[in-house]
Structure 1
Amino acid sequence: MNLIRPASLFTFFCFLSIFSAFAQSIPLKTRVDSLIKLNVPRKFNGVIAIAQSGKIIYSQNYGYSDFAQKTSFTEESQFILGSLSKQFTAVLVLQELDKGHLSLKDPIRKYLPDLKESWADSVTVHHLLNHTSGIVALDKPLSFKPGTKFSYSPLLCYQLLAQIAEKLSGKTYQELMKTLFEKCDMTNSTIPVAYKSGKLVSCYSEENDGTLALEKVKPEELGFATPGGGIISTKNDLIKWNEALHHGKLLKTNTYKLMATASSSREHARWGNIDYGYGLQIDKQDDILELSHSGALIGFISSNLYFPETETSIVILENIAWNFDNVIRTFFFHDQIRKIVKENLKR
């Protein structure tokens, strides 16, 4: 499949800026629909859900779940979430805090005594949660003193957190996630080792020439990636997740505040400097508090954003990993929908 590329991105972005100036009076649904139909700087291929107070106010699917079969998405189409998975694992660990089973200031060796690395005596649970551990790999020294800077850990730190949750609860990660999904009424969500539904969409990666290559993903082979990037879910289940997480159903009030309060900061590739809590990005651009995360893993990209002051959720899931040489283009529709919703919130 060949992708449409604009003759001039500069011209397009100029048009978009001018259009945005008077478009705020147009209904949200019309604005999002019009944006998607532009098909530039690339096509959108995936699903979108926007909700307020748990009620869906916008839900659309665009493109194909399988290009070879020309199969459309359904409300039960499942996607691999990438780093959106981190907030689920963070909750499992924080639930152990609620039970009095751990302290965030404890070195991780207290809970994982079999770790051979010397840094297990200086890295704490807190450091793992907010990406300030300095861990590079199990067999390598730390890249910096824990707690002194932010360095994003795609998978390893959250794998260690999952092991801590297992150790303290006496349950497997699979059992813990099953209970968590049930509590949130997430009936179409699972983890790779338990995947059975057959509803996982086909996924693709964009090649340098703009064509799409099918990724042959086998969920059962994603075990290590699961706590930090491998959870499988749907757009509607993620809306349910936001409602449960941000309305006190999963954590005690003070524990949730720890999760959603800045404890480190990062230079975001698209948004500039933003804060980070536990599995959540925290931003207050335009004086609108936003708790969010994006994800990318083997043929999938995703975004989950929540605005507490208006109880607004945005979930965007695509089954194409667009070329990451231009990350602004890759997440273009995600960021533009975010912008539209934020402008709508200010009206």
Structure 2
Amino acid sequence: MDSLGVHGMSIAVINNGKIVYCKGYGFSNVAQSERVDNRTFFEAASLSKPVFASFVLTLANENKIDLNKPLYEYLPPTNMIDERYKKINAAMVLSHTTGLPNWSESDTINFLYNPGEKFSYSGEAYTYLAKVIAKQNNLTLETLDNYFQSELAKKFGLKDFHFILTPTIKNKLATGYQDSSVVYDDRDRNRFDSAGGLYANASTYAKFLTQLMKREDLFNDMFVPRIDLESNDIVKEIFGIEAWTSGLAVIKIKNSVNFWHGGNNLGFTSSFMINPEKKFGYVFFTNADQCNGMKKILEDILWQ
């Protein structure tokens, strides 16, 4: 933590399908000397995406959404002119093969590739899919979290596990830091943000991961590669990713097949890795901006 400039951190380790270690380190708020404990919440950033993917697959298992049906038939997008959007389906969104960029810098989203052609990590696509699910259930992004609670969070036994900022979370939310400066973005935290809006701590997220591995047969699509990453893909170069499933990245370490996801929001960095065969893994959250070096440190220890 010292060498990477991390003020606060929450970490859990899973072994044989059980949480065997969970602890908070450092400060959730430096100025107020508030320390991180197991109840401290962090912005999960893109660790939101695997949770949302499991939510979507739950709905698919209940025949409430067809993963292969073009999304425009549920809800036409309002920010895409290129008619290639008619080829996008939920399966492509979860595996990042829509051809859309991560985030668009204009009101109109332009395609990078043809849908289904190659891997292209996209928060825009996840946002679109959330709108589709809300529309299908006569909900809005302001009310979709209630549906998530009933369809997945409560079934997994996950308390205070939300895609919106609740009073309980706000009271125990860590402050985000960029070096030693407090940082905070201005997004609407009352709207369901499938790409990066989950709030969590290591204890609750680790429980989600144990449930995911326990129910691997129900979430099989999350553990089967859908698209191989090209050798020159920047995501592959940085994180060593071989392929992507419906929600997770595939990483091989010493001949073991593992599933990973990381996340970066302004002032927060998070990561997890699981090995379903051994029911083993970790998850951590920090209130440090772009602290991706912590991933390698943990994996060098746990996968030695």
Aligned counterparts of 1:315 and 1:126: Cα–Cα separation in 2: 25
Aligned counterparts of 2:45 and 2:4: Cα–Cα separation in 1: 23
> Could you say which residue in structure 1 is the equivalent of 2:146?
175
In our comparison, the structure showing a higher alpha carbon Rg is: 1
Q: Is residue 238 of structure 1 aligned with residue 205 of structure 2? A: yes
Q: Is residue 95 of structure 1 aligned with residue 65 of structure 2? A: no
Q: Is residue 339 of structure 1 aligned with residue 282 of structure 2? A: no
Gaps of at least 5 residues in structure 1 are: 1-35, 207-211, 323-329
1:201 to 164, 170, 174: 174
**Cα drift, residue 313 of structure 1:** 2.4
Q: Is residue 191 of structure 1 aligned with residue 154 of structure 2? A: no
Aligned counterparts of 1:102 and 1:86: Cα–Cα separation in 2: 18
Q: Is residue 149 of structure 1 aligned with residue 118 of structure 2? A: yes
Q: Secondary structure at the match of 1:64?
A: strand
> Could you say which residue in structure 2 is the equivalent of 1:291?
259
Q: Is the 8 A contact 1:93 1:162 kept in 2?
A: no
1:256 to 219, 222, 247: 219
**Cα drift, residue 66 of structure 1:** 0.5
Gaps of at least 5 residues in structure 2 are: 230-234
Post-superposition CA distance 1:137-174 (Å, at most 9, x none): 46233221111111111x21111111222233445421
Tell me the TM-score normalized by structure 2.
Answer: 0.86
Q: One-letter code of the match for 1:177?
A: F
**Cα drift, residue 90 of structure 1:** 1.1
Judge which range, 278-287 or 221-230, deviates more: 221-230
When residues 194 and 41 of structure 1 are mapped into structure 2, their CA distance, relative to the original with a 3 A threshold, is: closer
Q: Is residue 304 of structure 1 aligned with residue 267 of structure 2? A: no
Q: One-letter code of the match for 1:331?
A: N
Judge which range, 169-178 or 231-240, deviates more: 169-178
Q: Is the 8 A contact 1:93 1:164 kept in 2?
A: no
Judge which range, 121-130 or 40-49, deviates more: 40-49
Q: Is residue 55 of structure 1 aligned with residue 1 of structure 2? A: no
**Cα drift, residue 317 of structure 1:** 0.7
User: Would you say how many aligned residue pairs link Structure 1 and Structure 2?
Assistant: 288
Post-superposition CA distance 1:93-127 (Å, at most 9, x none): 21221122333222111111464642331222222
When residues 87 and 51 of structure 1 are mapped into structure 2, their CA distance, relative to the original with a 3 A threshold, is: same
Q: Is the 8 A contact 1:44 1:333 kept in 2?
A: no
1:265 to 228, 233, 238: 228
When residues 103 and 151 of structure 1 are mapped into structure 2, their CA distance, relative to the original with a 3 A threshold, is: same
Q: Secondary structure at the match of 2:24?
A: strand
**Cα drift, residue 223 of structure 1:** 5.0
Q: Secondary structure at the match of 2:273?
A: strand
Q: Secondary structure at the match of 1:229?
A: coil
Q: Is residue 104 of structure 1 aligned with residue 76 of structure 2? A: no
**Cα drift, residue 72 of structure 1:** 0.8
Aligned counterparts of 1:217 and 1:142: Cα–Cα separation in 2: 26
**Cα drift, residue 194 of structure 1:** 3.6
**Cα drift, residue 213 of structure 1:** 1.1
Q: Secondary structure at the match of 1:133?
A: coil
Aligned counterparts of 2:77 and 2:21: Cα–Cα separation in 1: 49
> Could you say which residue in structure 2 is the equivalent of 1:163?
131
Q: Secondary structure at the match of 1:320?
A: coil
> Could you say which residue in structure 2 is the equivalent of 1:126?
91
Aligned counterparts of 1:334 and 1:246: Cα–Cα separation in 2: 21
